[in-house]
Chains A and B, each alone.
Chain A
């Protein structure tokens, strides 16, 4: 209850971050959390919105997951090379 995953992100997060969310809003509020995270992240950052995807579609539906994976692949190859 007293936990905040994004507490101090603005001060302490030094790494580049790739935020991926689904466009369809739902009851998990991950679109809103992703936006908050993206806004607070102080350094190199990118937010990618998967069109048409709801929260759970990005768990295991290839149509959407593969778009996320493609984006992540480019991101990690850039920063972990």
Chain B
């Protein structure tokens, strides 16, 4: 078996990413090794599938790095448990950055291995991440295809639109803390049966805190 995993940490922008580094048997830090970034499935932590493949590939002589994605597991970011493809792909690049700092990793012998959703992200990253010289996938899933397939086409528009109101509320709250409460109460007074974040055609849109672009996704602006 490969050595015990070494806990490591690296940054994706301002988030701390928690990783596990595994070294091959008989590791010698004076030598130079090929390394693999292992990209994990959705809704998993690095101790599961990432550890299985990380450990088995370390047994085959590779330095392996697996990690919890941004917003998940021991990695930072809020909201928790967000599956954000853009962040997931950027995590992969940041993992490469980290490996480049290790003197015993040969920067010309770097590969990526992705499992399930991680396979999709691995491929997506590799298209413009040429520090990877080889790409492997196991049961790769294209997360976007899966999401679209899960939502009947008639509901896709609603699903996208549904993300706008909570995001708008959050943006207003950040821009003007405290305003959300007053805004929500006003909405509820105007239409008690309506959920606080829906905007009706008759609602005055002259709210000075109105964030224009995000309203483009609101169903009501189609009126």
Contact = CB atoms under 8 A, between A and B. Distances in A.
Contacts of A22: 139
Contacts of A75: 134, 136
Interface string A1-32: 11111111100111111111110000011100
B49 A60 contact: yes
Contacts of A17: 123, 134-137
A15 B210 CA distance: 46
A66 interface: yes
A4 B141 CA distance: 10
Most buried by A among B85, B120, B142: B142
Contact of A72 (B110, B113, B139, B144): B113
Nearest to B132: A15
Contact of A68 (B121, B127, B138): B138
A3 B110 contact: no
Interface stretch (B52-60, B167-175, B183-191, B197-205): B52-60
Contacts of A58: 115, 138-139
Nearest to B41: A59
Interface string B108-122: 011101011001110
Interface in A26-81: 28-30, 33-34, 36-37, 55, 58-60, 65-66, 68-69, 72-73, 75-77, 79-81
A81 B53 CA distance: 20
B109 A3 contact: no
Contacts of B132: 15
A58 B116 CA distance: 9
Contacts of B134: 15-18, 75-76, 79-80
Interface residues of B, number: 50
A34 B137 contact: yes
Given A5-B121, A5-B123, A76 B36 contact: yes
B146 interface: yes
Nearest to A13: B127
A18 B140 CA distance: 11
Given A1-B160, A3-B85, A13 B135 contact: yes
Given A29-B149, A72-B57, A18 B136 contact: yes
B52 A65 contact: yes
A28 B119 CA distance: 13
B34 A59 contact: no
A77 to B, nearest CB: 8
5 contacts: A1-B151, A13-B123, A28-B146, A33-B119, A80-B109
Interface of B: 34, 36, 41, 48-49, 52-53, 56-57, 60, 62, 85-86, 109-111, 113, 115-116, 119-121, 123-124, 126-128, 130, 132-149, 151, 156, 159-160
